[in-house]
Amino acid sequence: MTALLEVQGLQKRFPMGGGGMLPCRRAAPSFLHAVEDVSFTLRAGETLGLVGESGCGKSTLARLLARLLDPTEGSIRLGGQEIGAIPAKRFGAIPATRPGAMPSTRPGAMPPRAAIQMVFQDAEGSINPRHTAFEAIARPLRQLSRLSGAELRTRVERTAALCGLPAELLGRFPHQLSGGQKARVGIARAVATEPALLVLDEPTSALDVSVQVVILDLLRSLQARTGAAYVFVSHDLNVVRLLCDRVLVMYLGRVVEEGAAETLFAAPAHPYTRALVGAVSVPGRRKGEERVRLSGEPRSPIDPDPQACRFHGRCPIGQDLCARAAPPVHELPGGRRVACHFPLTAGAMAAA
């Protein structure tokens, strides 16, 4: 089966205002490298986790994939169609191509905007305070699926029911809903158009732990039903381990490690992944098992040195070479990739 989403060499650089209005006071333009050379593929029905600390570019990557931001370079192909080059401002206006051309989970035409939807971290802020829950869910359907009247009403109610939102709540404004209910509205709005790709930007981070579990269950059952592919951004490695098939670990805009969730968490190959995994409290961890603690802050993402590993300085196993050359990407068995001069492969660990 071909990939639903193919991302190749994706980059996003934000210009950092070059100073004064007068040309003589203008400094050389500097760039914040938010996302650098990210490539991966995603199949329908698969869940890809994006992990990394705050500011590593995972939210920017999520917005690039959702086509809310324009990439500086690189390609995003959805169902074989290049969508990375279409400006975000025009992306919403592209009509459906011939029926079946878009990778839809249901037969029929669908504009590309309807095929990629996103669930936001801040459920409260992502619903217009002047819209009812019904209106919030109805808006994408009205605009993208061209539904109206009774047809729209049944579709909204069906979607809401699917997301565990009782019909009585649909008339309420966001401030009259609980956190979990707002999260459900956000999810219902995103899945209303039955997208083939759902980008989830830390959808549960603002919720109580008990509500988190329920929402994660909901997301899983929705995926089983619709077969959509998920890109799941999260801080919470336990959640990622639970939900994701594969994981991308990001550090300062770069993917440092990619692999199946099981093996990546069981035997991290990149020192940063090892530190991340080690920082999670796991019941039943053996005593004496070493934990890597990172010291210091990440380097600045503004105009980073291309001739050095970005993790150098915080890396517990860094050597002189890491300051002089960017690490190559090693392909490991099982589709794993790691960007490190000294990956902690099974062989290396056995030798140590």
Which residues are at the interface with other proteins (CB under 8 A)?
66, 68, 88-89, 92-93, 111, 113-114, 116-118, 120, 122, 124-131, 136, 139-140, 143-144, 173, 175, 186, 189-190
CB 235 within 8 A of CB 202: yes
Nearer to other proteins by Cβ, of 59 and 223: the residue is 59
Cα within 13 Å of Cα(135), Cβ side: 11
CB 111 within 8 A of CB 36: no
Pairing of strands 336-339, 81-82: unpaired
Least Å distance between CB 126 and other proteins?
A: 3
Nearer to other proteins by Cβ, of 44 and 199: the residue is 199
CB 145 within 8 A of CB 131: no
Separation of alpha carbons 122 and 327, rounded Å: 36
Least Å distance between CB 38 and other proteins?
A: 21
Least Å distance between CB 50 and other proteins?
A: 18
Say which residues have a Cβ less than 8 Å from residue 126's Cβ, sequence separation at least 6.
Answer: 120, 186
Separation of alpha carbons 159 and 162, rounded Å: 5
Nearer to other proteins by Cβ, of 114 and 338: the residue is 114
Least Å distance between CB 104 and other proteins?
A: 15
Nearer to other proteins by Cβ, of 2 and 128: the residue is 128
Least Å distance between CB 251 and other proteins?
A: 25
Token digits for 81? 């169609």
Which amino acid type is present at position 20? G
Nearer to other proteins by Cβ, of 126 and 181: the residue is 126
